[in-house]
Amino acid sequence: MSDCIFCKIAGHEIPAAVVYEDDDVIAFDDLHPLAKVHILLIPKKHIASAAELAEEDAAVVGKIYLVAKKIAEEKGLAKSGYRIVNNCKSDGGQEVFHIHFHLLGGEKLGLFV
């Protein structure tokens, strides 16, 4: 989508502090971190939210979780723990309408409801 900021990051039209990239997934530091480590993981394919996932998107969502695990290990979060969050649509807290996952860690995180 031409006006999607995450599509522009995935297409390298907008700079980002990329920590991982392959043909399907890109991960980058959040501009407004909510934890010591706060990384966003997105599919390069535009999918508006979890509500718009199709059967053919299952592989890329699974891959995102494996990439999150890899990054968590590289950042030293694996032993102490980390959180992976996805917000779906406006009432769920989604602000950018390109599906994305937050990897948070590096400190004790409070309860999240």
**Which residues are designated catalytic?**
100
CB hemisphere CA count around 102 (13 angstroms): 20
The single residue listed with the structure tokens 């991960």 is 27
CB 33, CB 52: distance < 8 Å: no
DSSP per residue, 13-49: SS---EEEE-SSEEEEE-SS-SSSEEEEEEESS----
